[in-house]
Each structure stands twice: as structure tokens, then as C-alpha cells.
Amino acid sequence: MPTKVTARYVLGFNKGEHVLLEEACVVYSGDIIEYVGHDYTGPVDEERHLGDALLMPGLIDLDALTDIDHLILDSWAGPEQAKGHQWSEDYFRHHRDDVFTAEERQQIREYALIQLVLHGITTYMPIASEVHSEWAEPFEELVGMAATSRKLGLRAYLGPAYRSGVNVVLETGERSVMFDDDRGRQGLADALRFIDHATELADPLVNGVLLPCRIETLGIELLKATAAASEERDVLVRLHSLQGLVERELILEWHGVTPLELLDQVGLLNERLLIPHATYTDRNPAVHGEDRGDLARLAGSRASIIHCPLTSMRYGSVLDSFNAYKAAGINISLGTDSFPPDLIRGIDAGVQLAKILAGTNDAGDVAGYFDAATLGGAQALRRPDLGRLEPGAQADMVAFSLGDIRDGVHDDPLRTLVLNGTARQAVLSVVAGQTIMADGLIEGVDLDYWRGKAQELFDKMRRAYTTRDARNRPVDELFPPVYARLER
């Protein structure tokens, strides 16, 4: 029998675009939506009345933090201070080690996935820092993560991150990358092994993908092998690129081409590629400050970008601009990339930054950003059954409460949520017809326990930076407090 969910506002789908319905409902049976509208009178097994809330498609986060927060530490430093957050050349050569045990890594994953559920994410592709790992992500870690993800009920696109090089600070004080090609080959083998594992699970909520690290940490051999594997198996590749000037300078120095040109040369620039950030194209003021064809090249390739506006803003960069990329025909999806995994705050940051860049308030494309968080993510994943509430689509949905006096007055509920709210207002999350969170609670999850455990793991991670720093500075020097702390 079907389940019926009613809300004051429902973001439905009609004739190829989202539409807003008032005092409406969504009805689903199993994992498929049967009805979206106002006047459903058929029999139902269960009804849930959300009241003053916005019910919308589940949020798709394609650069979702599955780690302990590190932005809280490293988003404040200048160039010299930031070098202390990288591996030193000595650490690379002689002292590489895992900061966390295998058990602790699984705890970190579970904590992070719980955060995704609490923030209304229904579909995710993970990102985690490798700086506190001995190299990258082993096969066994992703097997465990897949099990946790299935337990929580999230829709996952998973694979172990791999690389053949590591960003380091050389003894000269310069930033570069040091390579170990054997580790890269083994990482790709593990990634392909995980794709086989995901296939064997035969669970529609676990999908294998290729998740190499940053473009400058993959040698030519590994880039080409990744492209070949993606084509042979028809699987997605997410590769962080076009995201920084250091990356651009290194690629130009080593290969004589830009990162975008390199993606094309090795066979990765196609509809299977997802590019987080993509902020440093030719139109970026720090590159050329004018469009010399990069956006057209991206659009023509049918690759997708993963825009992470809140994280970009916190590290001092911006997509120039959302509207320009959209007008060029590039598919834009969204990611959070850091804590909090809050796409509502991310949309707010993106909308306001777009206004500042354009110098006009009507540049804040709220609909475009909600499309990116839903339809754009679905297109990047090649899943037209996700990101929309319409009959025949997957029953993936999230509801945000708008009933608190602190939410302010209502004009348009999407603008109210973006301007006055956060994803912490999520009160219902449904994936493939299964309720995975209701009223801010996840069945069987002790949130107080995880709050304490996360702090314990974070403190351990913070202490470990001293070992990797070329000057072995204490953590209070690497991460100075806002104000001096007086001892008792």
C-alpha cells in the first residue's frame, strides 16, 4: 500500500522543470513515486503530515565530506602558514604513517554519514582528506563504508580515492608533488576491485565509481589508465581539477598544457567526468580574466562540474560565474566538500556571491542553484529518475520545516529557506521509499555518543599535524586561536 506525505509546500516537477505546489502531497509505493499533486483520494497505508514545511527532491551532494572537519583548522592561514598543513619532504621520505587505526577510520565515516542524513542529503559521492592517511584510501575502508551507508539507507556513489603523488613542501620551502607510481597503480586496482564488489552487492543504493584525487597528484600513466577503465566499464570519474593556481602552474610546467587541456589529452574530458570546483578556467581574473574558450570546451565535452560555493568562499575563491557557466550550457551540480554538509547554506553563499560578481541583485539565481542541487546532480550521475518529484521517479525526498518564528515570514518558501534557514531544519528524509530520518532523529543512532566520539577523533587529527610540518611546529602555532587563551 502507498505512503502519503503532505506539506504546505511541495516542489513538484512538470514539463521539464520544478514547480511549486501549495497544500499538496507526494504518494509513493515501494521505491517509486506514484502521485504528486493536490487531490489524491486513493487508499494509503501510512500518512505523514508535515505541516508548515517544504517537501522537495532529496539533495544530491557530489563532493560530500566523509571525514572529520579540517576546514575549521586550515581555512585561515596565509601562504607560508599553510605550508605547515602539507606533508614535508622528510615526512614523505621517512615518516609516512596512518594517523587513525582502521577502526577509527570506520568511526569517522559513520559520523560523517550521519551528518549527511541530518542535513537532508539523500545521494552522495564522498570526499575525504588524505593528509592524515599513510597514502590514500584502501579497498577495505570503502567496503566498511559501503556497509555503514547501507545501514543508514543513503544512496551512495563510492570508490577508494587513489593517487600516484602527494602535495609536499620541499626542503627549499617550495610546494611541489612527490610521486610513487607503484602506489598509484595499486590504488587504481583497488578502485576497480571495489567496483566489482559494488556489483556483487546488487544493492541499487551502492554504486561503484572512480575517485582519483587531485589532477596534479596523478601521473600521465595513471590518468590514461583511469580514462581507459572508465570507458571500458562505463563508470563515472570524479577528479578534482581546475581548482587552484598551484595546480595550474605545476601542470603547465610538467606537461606544457593547462589542466583542462590535459584532461582532454588523456581521454577523461567526456560525459563520464565530474570536476569539483572548476573555478580556475581562463575567465578567472587570476588566470586571464576573459573567456578564451574554456567554458565552450567544458560544455562541448558534456562533463559536469561540482560547484561547492560555501567551501570555495571560505578558502577565498569563487566561481566566475554560476550564470556564465550555466549560459555556456555546462551541467552544474553541487557539493559541500567540507563541514557542515549544508547545501542550503551553500546555495545561499553561491547566490550572494553571484550578486557581488555581477553587481546586480537579479544575478542571484535561486532556481538555478536548487536545480543544481537536484537535477544537475541527477544529470551528472546519469540518473533521470533522481532529483525530481514526479510519478515514476525514485522516492527520494527531504522536507525542511519553516514553522519556527526564527524562520521569519513567508513570501516564496525557497527564498525563505535560503535567506533565513539552514539544512539543520530537515525534518524528514526518504531514500528509495525508506524513511531514514524523521524529526531530526535517525533510528538506532545515539547522536550524543557521536558528538563526543567526533571530538575525540578531531583532537587526535589536530595533534598529528606537528609531525608532518617541515618545522614540526606545535599545533597552537599551526592553528592559532582567534584570541590568546589564558591558562587557569
What are the extents of the domains in the chain? 1-57+390-445, 59-386
State the DSSP H helix or E strand holding residue 17, giving kind and residue range, or none if neither: strand 17-29
Amino acid identity for residue 297 in this structure? R
State the average pLDDT for the chain: 97
What is the Cβ-side half-sphere exposure of residue 156, based on CA atoms within 13 angstroms?
A: 33
- Determine contact, residues 155/124, Cβ cutoff 8 Å: yes
* CB-based contacts of 44, cutoff 8 Å, min separation 6: 1, 2, 3, 4, 27
Question: How big is the CA angle at 171 (ends 165 and 172), to the nearest 5 degrees?
Answer: 110
pLDDT at 485: 86
pLDDT bin (cut points 50, 70, 90) of residue 233 is: very high
pLDDT at 389: 98
The whole-angstrom separation of Cα 293 and Cα 291 is: 6
Could you please state the CATH topology (level 3) that the domain comprising 59-386 is classified under. TIM Barrel (3.20.20)
Tally of CB atoms within 10 A around 126: 28
Peptide bond into 340 cis (omega under 30): yes
Strand partners, 179: 165
- Determine contact, residues 3/367, Cβ cutoff 8 Å: no
- Determine contact, residues 298/258, Cβ cutoff 8 Å: no
- Determine contact, residues 166/217, Cβ cutoff 8 Å: yes
**Identical fold at 1-57+390-445 and 59-386?**
no
The whole-angstrom separation of Cα 205 and Cα 454 is: 26
pLDDT at 1: 79
224 has a pLDDT exceeding 90: yes
The whole-angstrom separation of Cα 195 and Cα 91 is: 32
pLDDT at 488: 82
Kindly state the average pLDDT of the residues 303-315: 97
Class of domain 1-57+390-445: mainly beta
Q: pLDDT tens digit string along 79-108?
A: 889 999 999 999 999 999 999 999 999 999
- Determine contact, residues 90/46, Cβ cutoff 8 Å: no
DSSP, residue by residue, 244-312:
-HHHHHHHHHHHSS-HHHHHHHTT--STTEEEEB---STTSTTTTSS-SSHHHHHHHHT-EEEE-HHHH
SS3 450: helix
- Determine contact, residues 20/411, Cβ cutoff 8 Å: no
What is the Cβ-side half-sphere exposure of residue 355, based on CA atoms within 13 angstroms?
A: 10
Q: pLDDT tens digit string along 358-379?
A: 999 999 999 999 999 999 999 9
Peptide bond into 301 cis (omega under 30): no
Q: pLDDT tens digit string along 244-283?
A: 999 999 999 999 999 999 999 999 999 999 999 999 999 9
Q: pLDDT tens digit string along 444-464?
A: 999 999 999 999 999 999 999
pLDDT at 159: 98
The whole-angstrom separation of Cα 162 and Cα 130 is: 9
Kindly state the average pLDDT of the residues 199-215: 98
The whole-angstrom separation of Cα 307 and Cα 286 is: 18
pLDDT at 185: 98
pLDDT at 487: 83
pLDDT at 321: 94
The whole-angstrom separation of Cα 168 and Cα 250 is: 13
